[in-house]
Structure 1
């Protein structure tokens, strides 16, 4: 039986960082310390077009680095799966001969053309913050069925395009990109188990809406903005902490493992309080998980792979370790995967 492994991983953050006191947040309503404590973010990055940063250019940089580090040519990539929460692309390259923002084509098509991935099947997925896990599961399935050899799962978030800087929810999110190369396993690396479930009862808590800015009651100017209900923070605390552990326990049971068998837990990074609740719910001690949202913000689909990249760079994960990746996604979906880590190129 062919097995799929994570062969390589990389990430890229914006060059510019914005602290909580930055003038960009100068039009926010009065902010309580409770808000800042819950989200636990001190600074976050936004892509800067004047520095050559947008979803396409950053994705190209990440793919090129991934290929170079693994001695691959663009033609060696058989599959590319992309995720980007903002549905409007600001840069579609030379695909349509114009550079105006568009809903279509999606990122995978543009990236395939611009990166010269001439042999790659391509498609985009959307499971918000859990998109990386969905992409890995799909890529692993293609590899295990012998349909592809090298698959790239890439998450690039230019979420600042959806930020309303008169609304306090704008302080949560950040831009960023991360990608993994999955290949057929030649060592002990493999996907051991996965689990996911969903519950749309609370779908309206956090959505993308066409509306005017929150602080502009007299204007009819509308744009696609991320929108968090006024009591969204409180509602999330009522159901999100319980649902991620459910997915983790199901994945562990499928893998025939217990929490004590796991070397590192890699959680999505929405809030230190939520991550702590997830860890507590699966008997994960503090030394077995990393938090990154304080310096990186919430990078939506790029959050899990970025945190995995950081854990690997810091030597928290070793060859042969079993790890868990898990998180929640607005909508709401909950997912978890158990991987055995083999030889892996960090770049």
Structure 2
């Protein structure tokens, strides 16, 4: 049976990190160079809080906000990079904390910036091939925990968030087609090098590393090749959208809104102009949240519904791209 996005919710940590806070911590950074990123504040995880905590809060908010009976959920999919335990899967932990029925399937997957669209594809597949009727898709990221204290770029761009999306059965096809892609040769463009099984932490892992622009991180912390990711996005995203529209037998004129992953406003504006997408059809939504990784698209959808920009009957392109390197796009009808 076809699927549809029924409703969404999201939650943010209570700790707000404003641009004023940022410039207080990094007084040598010129604000004129940062404002084009489009972030004025971001929410940062508090001490002792985990990614799964945000996912749980987002799910509980969805149940309350949209009057959803949790006993109707028959599959749980969790996009998460920062797991509670090596094993079991965080989806199993969340299943118990949320009090879902025992007949409910549960699985994790970890990806990043393209994860929401991948998650929609997984949910749609579970419903079509495995008979699920109500799939709860959670995304969560607390990437700020991984930043080096002197990493002036990441501290400005990113924020933490948890999101929840309920997909249910539909009488007609409201989700798809999908386009997916991967370039594993670029896996080092966005990476935390040490701390996994390939490169365990050692005495040198926390040694400071300075790039050509003076930004500081270490092998134990998050690192991103900003220029490399920018160039990858400009090359990949237009082709991905063209492929998606061709696969759907649609043109840009048939699309009411384009909701892309929100890495930063400058990159997305560059993409919008390159693809000749009219401003009224393009969503920017990171001013108050920053780049929340897998959470940017569902947050943008939620806010677009709340402010009346996304209305029933609209056709929307969703596109994620980044860490992996990976990308994915689909069409959602609301």
Shift of 1:236: 2.5
Label 1:214 to 1:174 Cα distance change in 2 as closer, same or farther (>3 A).
farther
Deviation at 1:194, TM superposition (A): 1.0
Structure 2 unaligned spans of 5+: 195-204, 211-217
Matched residues in 2 for 1:224 and 1:302: separation? 24
For residues 313 and 65 of structure 1, the distance between their equivalents in structure 2, rounded to whole angstroms, comes to: 15
SS at 1:181 equivalent: strand
What's the CA shift for 1:237? 2.8
**Equivalent residues in 2 for 1:1-347 (5 A)?**
2-22=1-21, 26=25, 28=26, 30-33=28-31, 35-49=33-47, 53-87=49-83, 89=84, 102-117=85-100, 118-145=102-129, 147-168=131-152, 169-186=154-171, 190-210=174-194, 211-212=205-206, 214=208, 224-228=220-224, 232-341=225-334
The 3-state SS of whatever aligns with 1:225 is coil
1:43–1:122 distance in 2 versus 1, CA, 3 Å: same
In the superposition, relative to structure 1, how do residues 69 and 295 fare at CA in structure 2: closer, same or farther (>3 Å)?
A: closer
Aligned partners of 1:130 and 1:329 also within 8 Å: yes
Distance in 1, matches of 2:246 and 2:4, equals 20
Q: How far has the Cα of 1:71 moved from its partner? A: 4.1
TM-score normalised by length of structure 2: 0.86
Question: Could you tell me how far apart the structure 2 residues matched to 1:189 and 1:62 are?
Answer: 27
Conservation of the 8 A alpha-carbon contact between 1:167 and 1:215: no
- RMSD of Structure 2 on Structure 1 (CA): 2.4
Secondary structure of the structure 1 residue equivalent to 2:192? strand
- Secondary structure (helix, strand or coil) at the match of 1:105 reads coil
Instruction: Please state whether the residue corresponding to 1:296 is helix, strand or coil.
Output: coil
The answer (yes or no) to whether the contact 1:189–1:320 under 8 Å persists in 2 is no
Alpha-carbon deviations, 1:301-336, whole Å to 9, x = none?
111111111111111111111100012121211111
Flag the 1:17–1:3 CA change in 2: closer, same or farther, 3 A. same
8 Å Cα contact 2:45-2:160 kept in structure 1: yes
**Separation in 2 of the partners of 1:208 and 1:267?**
24
What's the TM-score once normalised by structure 1's chain length?
0.83
- Any unmatched runs of 5+ in structure 1? 90-101, 217-221, 342-347
Q: What secondary structure, in the 3-state scheme, does the structure 2 residue paired with 1:294 have?
A: coil
